[in-house]
């Protein structure tokens, strides 16, 4: 993922409200969200190049998502895939706290990443460019390609839009969250971060929905987890344009 906006334990009807965009090169082969044949209780898209994923949930309530930490000067092309961090957690049974504590010992092997994992009741966050693993406090949060809640324009604008939607909605509509994620407005130059990719690239990457010539938003994901355990998972897929080329919707109740 390259943008994750989420409200954790701060809405009377929902334990978790999440809206996220995955940005990737258009030529990287990808399978849309589905229950995996080899792990039938795991719902996620799939990176067909390496086999991992960027976001997923299981029917037992395990949740995980990853974003890259943008630092091109330190990028190592042969480092392990960060998407496997998500699928490994979803396949396993370790608590998020123990999983991230163990991961922290091996995290220098990876290029920069942020990972959020846990359950709708208790989420944890860790970055191998930040501090130690820590629980995510209740509230509205945003994560892009820096640390959690770093005030990049897309994170600030996304959090404000999600907060406003939650404040005025007793029942959250997935289409409203997709509309939020579809914002293609670029940030003014004086608000852009300098991450080493150049001004033109910073402009392109500053919008919530990205449409570049070879890179952009490949999928948008909405996850709603009610306090009654009811789950709605919806994904829109894209291929370089503003209009989705496919839509997936799954609804189920968490086991137990």
Percent of the chain with pLDDT over 90: 96
For the stretch 175-209, what's the b/e string if a residue is b when 16 or more beta carbons lie within 10 angstroms of its beta carbon? eebbebbbeeebbeeeebbebeeeeebbebbbbbb
> What's the rounded Cα separation, in Å, for the pair 110 and 88?
15
Average pLDDT over residues 24-42: 96
Choose between 169 and 36: higher pLDDT.
36
Q: Which CATH fold would you assign to the domain 3-253? A: Penicillin V Acylase; Chain A (3.60.60)
The pLDDT assigned to 241 comes to 82
The pLDDT assigned to 127 comes to 98
Q: Which residue has the tokens 């220098």?
A: 108
Whether residue 247 has pLDDT greater than 80 = yes
Percent of the chain with pLDDT over 70: 100
> What's the rounded Cα separation, in Å, for the pair 61 and 117?
11
Instruction: Give the pairing of strands 63-68 and 139-143.
Output: unpaired
The pLDDT assigned to 124 comes to 98
- What average pLDDT is seen over the chain? 96
- Nearest CA among 138, 134, 103 for reference residue 120: 138
Residue 6's H or E segment, with its range, is: strand 3-8
Which tens digits make up the pLDDT trace of 213-237?
Answer: 999 999 999 999 999 999 999 999 9
The pLDDT assigned to 242 comes to 84
Average pLDDT over residues 84-100: 98
Instruction: Answer yes or no: are the C-beta atoms of 47 and 28 closer than 8 Å.
Output: yes
Whether residue 199 has pLDDT greater than 90 = yes
Whether residue 142 has pLDDT greater than 80 = yes
φ and ψ at 194, to 5 degrees?
-115, 100
Whether residue 256 has pLDDT greater than 80 = no
Residue 103's H or E segment, with its range, is: helix 96-106
Contacts of 231 (CB under 8 A, 6+ apart): 57, 223, 224, 225, 250, 251, 252, 253, 254
The overall pTM is greater than 0.75: yes
Domain borders along the chain are 3-253
The pLDDT assigned to 155 comes to 98
Average pLDDT over residues 130-143: 97
> What's the rounded Cα separation, in Å, for the pair 40 and 215?
31
Instruction: Give the pairing of strands 123-127 and 113-118.
Output: antiparallel
> What's the rounded Cα separation, in Å, for the pair 202 and 159?
20
Average pLDDT over residues 63-88: 96
């Amino acid at each position: 993922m390259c943008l994750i906006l989420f409200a954790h334990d701060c809405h009377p009807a929902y334990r978790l409200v999440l809206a996220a965009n995955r940005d990737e090169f258009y030529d990287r082969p990808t399978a849309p969200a589905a229950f995996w044949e080899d792990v039938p209780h795991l719902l996620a898209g799939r990176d067909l190049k390496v086999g991992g994923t960027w976001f997923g949930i299981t029917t037992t309530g395990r949740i995980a998502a990853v974003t890259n930490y943008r630092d091109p000067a330190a990028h190592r092309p042969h480092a392990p895939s960060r998407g496997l961090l998500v699928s490994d957690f979803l396949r396993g049974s370790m608590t998020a706290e123990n999983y991230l504590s163990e991961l922290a010992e091996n995290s220098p092997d990876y290029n920069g990443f942020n990972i959020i994992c846990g359950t709708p009741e208790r989420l944890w966050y860790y970055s191998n460019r930040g501090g130690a693993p820590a629980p995510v406090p209740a509230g509205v949060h945003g994560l892009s390609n820096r640390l959690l809640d770093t005030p990049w324009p897309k994170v600030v604008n996304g959090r404000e839009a999600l907060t406003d939607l939650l404040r005025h909605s007793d029942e959250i509509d997935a289409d409203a969250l997709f509309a939020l994620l579809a914002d293609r407005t670029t940030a003014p130059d004086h608000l852009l971060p300098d991450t080493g990719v150049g001004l033109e690239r910073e402009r392109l990457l500053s919008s919530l929905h990205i449409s570049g010539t070879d890179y952009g938003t490949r999928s948008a994901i909405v996850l709603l987890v009610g306090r009654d355990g009811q789950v709605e998972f919806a994904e829109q897929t894209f291929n370089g344009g503003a209009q989705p080329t496919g839509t997936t919707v799954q609804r189920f109740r968490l086991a137990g």
